[in-house]
Chains A and B, each alone.
Chain A
Amino acid sequence: MSAALLEACGLHLRFGAVRALDDVALEIHPGEVVAIVGESGSGKSTLLRVLAGHVPAQAGRVLYRDAAGDAQEIGALSEAAKRRLMRSEWGFVHQNARDGLRMGISAGGNIGERLMSAGTRNYTEIRTAAADWMARVEMDPARIDEAPRNFSGGMQQRLQIARCLVTQPRLVFMDEPTGGLDVSVQARLLDLIRGLVAELGLAVFFVTHDIAAARLLAHRIIVMRHGRIVEEGLADRVLDDPRHAYTQLLVASVLSA
């Protein structure tokens, strides 16, 4: 089997008396979709930020195998090297689209900017790619020159996803990508993400408290509580045959419509 794309071990992080991460170890392989679930304060978003190199851990390390096949220790990379990785091989989808978009430039500009920072210079090529990606995330390409603030929350989120995927990253981090959206909008967005992830063969870490979303999207589920991984495994097995008391509680708390 293939080597891990990213692996982390011994991650520790405390905020004062709170253990945000307590001896966390995990890995992700190419094409694998991993959901990190847990309630607020479980440490799941902190874990995502540490894996993506936004926040340093106090102990432990995160290794990423880049496209050239070299293992990079995320904590040891320079800011410039991290930015380069973020612009090319990685993508990050924030819960709040405003954190992932430039609100002052057009929709097309948001997508094109990422392509330009990855090295594309030809204007026509950039504009064509931007229009193409708007269509792929089910936005009207005729609105390419409008500012993000003209779009609804769901559309802003789709724009953020287009901006993230246009450079064809190998690994994508998503922090509650459907949080804060209306339920009908959530379903459509989840379905869109599901299709794109399968089509592009992306490796994805996504943080969610939505068990149904985890079942729909994830191959594997990691359950976090109080900064620790309490259970981990095949998605349908974790949900249908949960072992840990906390996982049983999470699964039992879901209302089925």
Chain B
Amino acid sequence: MRAAIRIEALAKGFTLHLQGGIGFQVLRDAALTVMPGECVALTGPSGAGKSTLMRCLQGNYGADAGHIWLHHRGADVDLAAADARLVREIRRETLGYVSQFLRVIPRVSARDVVAEPLLARGTPRAQAEGRATALLTRLNLPSRLHGLPPATFSGGEQQRVNLARGFAPHYPILLLDEPTASLDAANREVVIGLIAEAKARGAALVGIFHDIEVRDRVADRTRDILPLEDAA
């Protein structure tokens, strides 16, 4: 079986021009392979680079060196070398991301926030909205909120909208950044169920889970990210 994700010799650092040009290296020679149907939890101390690795893997941060091979449209594509249009195509069809916080768009309802990635992939509107409603309902978001913009929702409600948006399109690769951080026990169970279903479908998942119980139940293995010794 071919890997869904294969990170090789990834390096990422930052140069802060506004702080006198100081530079620091966060990742050096990082590697990670994830097979379809597998969930890998990134572990390690805070500040070690877990989030940086996730953001590189999402294309949000540009890699300085190395490769991020993703299985996309039947071939291995290097996200680290992809141009803006290819990254958008990969995100539309292959790569989903559930961030910790929802970026709210004025006037767009929760249902439309969830349906949007489905519509972008060509799902007919009625079907996309039906799926959005079903997922929001499963995540216990009261139906009176489905038609409202999430700007005024609580943190937990916004996170559930975000989760529904990430799980709706059945991406072959899904990244999860603290997906249960502000959820109660019942909704945590729903998320654990959604992750299990995604794995059963053959999706490859990478997550940061500070909730040890959730991590133990969903992750097939962990990958420790340790701080670089000379990081300053």
Contacts and interface: CB of A to CB of B under 8 A. Distances in A.
State whether these chains interact: yes
Interface of A: 1, 29, 32, 187-188, 190-191, 194, 216, 219-220, 233-237, 240-241, 243-245, 248-249, 252
B40 to A, nearest CB: 23
A216 B105 contact: yes
B145 interface: no
Contacts of B105: 191, 194, 216
B85 A191 contact: no
A241 B84 contact: no
A1 B14 CA distance: 32
Contacts of B18: 245, 248-249, 252
Interface of B: 14-18, 55, 59-62, 84-88, 105-108
Given A216-B105, A237-B87, 11 more contacts: A191-B105, A194-B105, A233-B62, A237-B62, A237-B84, A240-B61, A241-B55, A241-B60, A248-B17, A248-B18, A252-B18
B62 A245 contact: no
B107 A191 contact: yes
Given A187-B106, A191-B106, A240 B17 contact: no
Contact of B60 (A1, A237, A243, A245): A237
26 contacts: A1-B85, A1-B86, A32-B85, A187-B106, A187-B107, A188-B106, A188-B107, A190-B106, A191-B108, A219-B84, A219-B85, A219-B88, A233-B84, A234-B59, A237-B61, A237-B87, A240-B61, A241-B14, A241-B60, A241-B62, A243-B15, A244-B17, A245-B17, A248-B16, A248-B18, A249-B17
Contacts of A32: 85
Contacts of A190: 106
A235 B91 CA distance: 13
Contacts of B59: 234, 237
Contacts of A243: 15, 62
B110 to A, nearest CB: 15
Main secondary structure of the interface of A (DSSP, over half): helix
A211 to B, nearest CB: 14
B106 A220 contact: no
Nearest to B21: A245
A34 to B, nearest CB: 9
A248 B86 CA distance: 24
Contacts of A241: 14, 55, 60-62
A190 B17 CA distance: 31
A194 B113 CA distance: 13
A248 B18 CA distance: 7
Closest CB pairs A-B (n = 4): A245-B17, A234-B84, A241-B61, A220-B84
Contacts of A233: 62, 84
Contacts of B106: 187-188, 190-191
Contacts of A187: 106-107
A234 B108 contact: no
Residue of A216, A233, A236 ringed by the most chain B CB atoms within 10 A = A236
A252 B105 CA distance: 21
A248 B17 CA distance: 7
Contacts of A191: 105-108
B16 A234 contact: no
Contacts of A245: 17-18
A53 B55 CA distance: 39
A31 to B, nearest CB: 10
A37 to B, nearest CB: 15
A236 B59 CA distance: 9
A234 B55 contact: no
A156 to B, nearest CB: 21
Contacts of B62: 233, 237, 241, 243
A190 B14 CA distance: 32
Nearest to B56: A241
Contacts of A1: 85-86
